[in-house]
Structure 1
């Protein structure tokens, strides 16, 4: 799917490990404040190949949907993931995303999140998408507000990010509702 500015959104594929390792290495400092602490092997093609295989198994099992942002056909410049897909009475998922530091602030992630929410609704039949951001991650909160997410609460010590338990703001988007940016 063309997101403009030469950026494509496509499903994660076998063989993406080496390019993901390069993307994570290139963005190591950019992502560090927003992610769990990473061991050195996380930044290797071999480790990313294993993670891709595990993720694709979760996709095949219906528990996840995984996408990459590419510049042109190959260079990975971001990810968007739907994880912990629950059906039954819930029909919900968790959203995670990041974009290459060199591309931040250009509206690319806003377009990617909108597209993935459309896929979650139309292709996966989901009802709700939840996302969480660190309390001080204003850029991520702007993405969520612009794509129709509403803040629903604050979770103390929600995730262990950058080596310590940190509070997060929780957001949701009901996929059947019309998008009202800034809700």
Structure 2
């Protein structure tokens, strides 16, 4: 578990998180819709979320991914940060994704959560590189990546199907041999 600030923590997803996740997704459904794949109605059920939690926990145990939730003091989930598609061997890389609830934005939570995940990826998982992709017009997400030392590496046409359409994305990478500094430590 990582303390992001006095009110928020970042912890791995765990069994039993399904109900809290469905509440977080339901409240933020319209907020997240432009930035995520189209979701079925089943996605917004506790049963679906708990099945996904079990899969997530299994994948973390095999080292293929690790997914975190951002929680408030009362346990309410106000965000997620995922490190997916982890590849070992000479690549030692993973793909980063994240979101923050509409009512928790503009507090630096995403930036601090990404910092914590990068440190975990380097120190606990031994990864060399983390990649992230944003929609071309997602300036807020691009600011989070820039604050965490990501470098823009190109444009990927029709990269992911988001909001029901294949959309172009900007690709970024962060090499983890470089020192990871918290945003408050930067000049």
Q: Calculate the TM-score normalised by the size of structure 2.
A: 0.94
* Offset at residue 66 of structure 1 (A): 1.2
Specify every segment of 5 or more residues in structure 2 that has no aligned partner in the other structure, as ranges: none
Structure 2 counterpart SS, 1:117: helix
Separation in 2, partners of 1:90, 1:54:
24
- 1:112-123 correspondence runs (5 A): 112-123=113-124
How far apart are residue 178 of structure 1 and its match?
3.1
The ranges of structure 1 where at least 4 consecutive aligned residues each deviate by more than 6 angstroms after the TM superposition are: none
Which secondary structure state, in structure 1, belongs to the residue aligned with residue 83 of structure 2? strand
Tell me, in whole angstroms, the C-alpha distance in 1 between the residues paired with 2:102 and 2:31.
Answer: 6
How far off is 1:158 after superposition?
0.2
- Tell me, yes or no, if structure 1 residue 153 matches structure 2 residue 154: yes
Within 5 Å, which residues of 2 pair with 1:1-183? Answer: 1-179=2-180
Give per-residue Cα distances to partners, 1:9-54, cap 9 Å, x unaligned: 1111100000000000010000000001101111111100011111
Look up the SS of the partner of 1:88 in the other structure: coil
Runs of 5+ unmatched residues, structure 1: none
Tell me the number of residue pairs that the alignment of Structure 1 and Structure 2 aligns: 182
Q: Deviations over 1:118-173 (max 9, x none)?
A: 00000000000000000000000000000010000000000000010000000000
